[in-house]
Structure formats: structure tokens, C-alpha cells
């Protein structure tokens, strides 16, 4: 496929792709396929935008980051290190995707959310506020993490579950179905919070819960 070097940075741009003159594509960066890059985007280092991906605003890609398929990155979002945004996922606002994290499916990551480590956000999951997802955690299906909530370790948030406020879910814990964890609650170890259970206040849970638990 024929390509040219972008006038702002010298990076490779396929002739089938579009990159605004205001966008920066660094010397070793690439924009391939039918990808589109608009605005003041910066694609630095060895980052790649491929397939039908769409990057706009003041978004920044660094390291070996890759945005592919029909994924979108907008606003002031940062995709860095070896992070991937793919399929129909959207990352926007001031969200950061770092390390080897993966955002896929129809997931939406916004606000000031941080996804790092080897965390995976997929399905129709949503992150907003200052959500912090790390390690090998998974947020999937139609689950939502927002506020100042933290999810880490091998924890999994699935179904229609919600984790918000300053709640922390860690270890091998699972929050599933229509369960909610909020307030300053802590769910850890191999805890399973399922059905329509609610864990809130300053509750600390390490076992299985069906019902409501508070301080």
C-alpha cells in the first residue's frame, strides 16, 4: 500500500488514511489503513493507528500503543506504553490507558479514569469519574465503575454490577449480576457479591454476600 511521510513529524501515513496537518505523527509512528486523525492529536514514539480507527481532539498516543478496528480516542485521552484500544471501544475526556491494558468490545472509558497493568475493559462496560482499574482486573458485560472507585488484583466486575463512590474491590473478588458496592466499602479476597446485593458504608467483605451489608 502506498504511503507518505506526514509533514508534521515525519511519520508514515498510508495514502488511504487521513491525518490533519495540525496533528503530529512522530518519525517512528504510523497511521495505516483507513484510519482518521483530526485536530491536535499527537502520535509519538512507535504508536500506531490502524484499520478504521478514529482519533480526534488533543488525544495522545505514545510508546507502543495501538488503536485499531473501529475504536475511537478523543478529548485529552492518553493511550501509552503497550496499551490497546480495539473493536468499537471509545476512550475520551482525560482518561488514561497504560501498561498492557486492553479496552475492547463496545466499552466506554471516560472522565479521569485510569486503566493500567493488564486490566481488561470489554463488553458494554463503562468507566467514568476517577475510576482506577489495575493489575489483572476485568470489567465486562454492562458493568460500571465510577466515582473514586478502585478495582485491582484479579477482581472481576460483571453483569450489570456497579462499583462507585470510594469503594475498593481487590484480590480475587467478584461483583456480578445487579450487585452494587459503594460508599467506603471494601470487598477483597475471594468474595462474591451477586444477585441484587448491596455492600456499602464502611463494610469490609471477604466472603459471599446475597443481600445487603453495611457498617
Q: For the chain, what are the domain ranges?
A: 1-82, 87-215
pLDDT of residue 212: 77
* Burial class for 21, CB neighbours closer than 10 Å (0-12, 13-18, 19+): exposed
Whether residue 10 is predicted with pLDDT greater than 80 in this model: the reply is yes
Averaged pLDDT for residues 145-163: 98
Predicted structure pTM score: 0.97
Lowest mean pLDDT among 29-43, 64-78, 195-209: 195-209
Lowest mean pLDDT among 4-18, 136-150, 199-213: 199-213
Q: How far apart are CA 120 and CA 69, in angstroms?
A: 17
Banded pLDDT at 37 (limits 50, 70, 90): very high
Determine the topology of domain 87-215 in CATH: UDP N-Acetylglucosamine Acyltransferase; domain 1 (2.160.10)
> Tell me: the pLDDT tens digits for 198-210?
999 999 999 887 6
> Tell me: the pLDDT tens digits for 166-187?
999 999 999 999 999 999 999 9
Amino acid at each position: 500500500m502506498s504511503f507518505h511521510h506526514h509533514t508534521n513529524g515525519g511519520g508514515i501515513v498510508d495514502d488511504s488514511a487521513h491525518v490533519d496537518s495540525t496533528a503530529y505523527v512522530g518519525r517512528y509512528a504510523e497511521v495505516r489503513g483507513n484510519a482518521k486523525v483530526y485536530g491536535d492529536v499527537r502520535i509519538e514514539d512507535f504508536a500506531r493507528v490502524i484499520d478504521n480507527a478514529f482519533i480526534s481532539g488533543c488525544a495522545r498516543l505514545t510508546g507502543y500503543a495501538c488503536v485499531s478496528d473501529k475504536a475511537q480516542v478523543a478529548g485529552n485521552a492518553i493511550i501509552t506504553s503497550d496499551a490497546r484500544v480495539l473493536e468499537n471501544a471509545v476512550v475520551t475526556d482525560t482518561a488514561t490507558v497504560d501498561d498492557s491494558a486492553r479496552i475492547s468490545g463496545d466499552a466506554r472509558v471516560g472522565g479521569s479514569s485510569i486503566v493500567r497493568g493488564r486490566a481488561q475493559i470489554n463488553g458494554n462496560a463503562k468507566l467514568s469519574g476517577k475510576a482506577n482499574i489495575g493489575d489483572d482486573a476485568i470489567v465486562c458485560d454492562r458493568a460500571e465503575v465510577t466515582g473514586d472507585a478502585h478495582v485491582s488484583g484479579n477482581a472481576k466486575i460483571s453483569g450489570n454490577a456497579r462499583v462507585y463512590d470510594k469503594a475498593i474491590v481487590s484480590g480475587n473478588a467478584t461483583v456480578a449480576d445487579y450487585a452494587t458496592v459503594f460508599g467506603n466499602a471494601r470487598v477483597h479476597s475471594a468474595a462474591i457479591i451477586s444477585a441484587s446485593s448491596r455492600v456499602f458504608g464502611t463494610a469490609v467483605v471477604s466472603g459471599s454476600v446475597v443481600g445487603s451489608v453495611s457498617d
